[in-house]
Amino acid sequence: AIYNLGSINADLFYHVPHLPQAGETLAASSFTRGLGGKGANMSVAAARAGAHAVHIGAVGHDGLWAQERLMEFGVDTRHIAGLPDTPIGQAIITVDQAGENSIVLLRGANHAIPQTTLAGALAEASPGDTLLMQNETLNQRKAAKMARDLDLYIAYAAAPFEAAAVTEVLPFLDFLILNEVEATQLEEATGQTPEQLGVPDVIITLGGKGARWLHKGKRQDFPAFPVTALDTTGAGDTFTGYVLAARDRGLPMPQAITLAMRAAALMVTRHGTADVIPDLKEVTEARF
């Protein structure tokens, strides 16, 4: 199983004629609400890839719909706390006619996940299960420590990048995934190349160029599947959920990476995030 300590956001899209200026009141022409947050996306991807994905997180009293949507996507939502006095995490996204956007983020319940929720979820984990984390929640180091005591496989996606957050969990990690920009940022922050970090499995995703796997002093490059990219939102989250789900059910890492790249390639041909993450059947049947 994959235990994912992660964010859950309401992505609130307001379509506007232009991005609002200081002091301006602007009418939106339409509104859509989607499920978002890197954590939620990764849980959905892992579930769609066939894993038992247990999401550890929190929403507010206004977040029941998000929990229900996660459940529809096959995520185990028993360890999502419903907090009475904190709003669900939100991304307030204004999108202009050219597709340019500006985003206001409210961390909300993502920064108030109760310790008891985390402990209660991990109490169910068995040795060899995966703990996955990203940087949109607190208590990553504490969770990593608990996971190490339980002999879990500890995976971390260093996004949104924050040098202090990564270095704090680095000694605990079995698996680290970064995109190209984050890999450069980490190298600048630590003065070490990804090979020198001492993490057994490091994956650097390279967008349309594919992905690189660093393992036991060796590097292996995987070219991306050729597709026409429409919307790359959620590609990295899909990759992460898929690669860990595949590993969790025993696939060797090279095969897990190839499967994850197939899923991510399909994902970039679609508009949207959690709602359009492909399932295992689509991914295995896709022809590139």
Contact 10, 66 (CB under 8 A): yes
Contact 176, 190 (CB under 8 A): no
CA dist., res. 177 & res. 194, Å (int): 10
Of 85, 97, 112, 101, nearest to 8 by C-alpha is 112
* Residue closer to ligand ADP (CB basis): 59 or 283: 283
76 annotated active-site? no
Residue 249 annotated as lining a ligand binding site? no
Whole-number minimum distance, CB 231 to ligand ADP, in Å? 10
* Residue closer to ligand ADP (CB basis): 38 or 55: 38
Q: Taking CB under 6 A as the rule, does residue 232 contact ligand ADP?
A: yes
CA dist., res. 277 & res. 270, Å (int): 9
CA dist., res. 282 & res. 277, Å (int): 10
Q: Taking CB under 6 A as the rule, does residue 243 contact ligand ADP?
A: no
What pairs with residue 59 in β-bridges? 82
CA dist., res. 89 & res. 57, Å (int): 11
Whole-number minimum distance, CB 111 to ligand ADP, in Å? 22
Of 287, 272, 283, 280, nearest to 46 by C-alpha is 280
Residue 233 annotated as lining a ligand binding site? yes
Pick from 19, 105, 106, 206 the residue near ligand ADP by CB under 6 A: 206
CA dist., res. 51 & res. 49, Å (int): 6
Which among 221, 237, 248, 279 is annotated as catalytic?
237
Whole-number minimum distance, CB 229 to ligand ADP, in Å? 4
How many residues bind ligand ADP, per CB under 6 A? 19
Q: Taking CB under 6 A as the rule, does residue 227 contact ligand ADP?
A: yes
Pick from 154, 155, 261, 277 the residue near ligand ADP by CB under 6 A: 261
* Residue closer to ligand ADP (CB basis): 224 or 277: 224
Q: In the structure encoding, which two tokens stand for residue 155, read together?
A: 């995976």
Site residues, ligand ADP (CB under 6 A)? 179, 205-208, 210-211, 224-225, 227, 229, 232, 235-236, 239, 261, 264-265, 268
Residue numbers belonging to the annotated binding site for K(+): 231, 233, 267, 270, 272
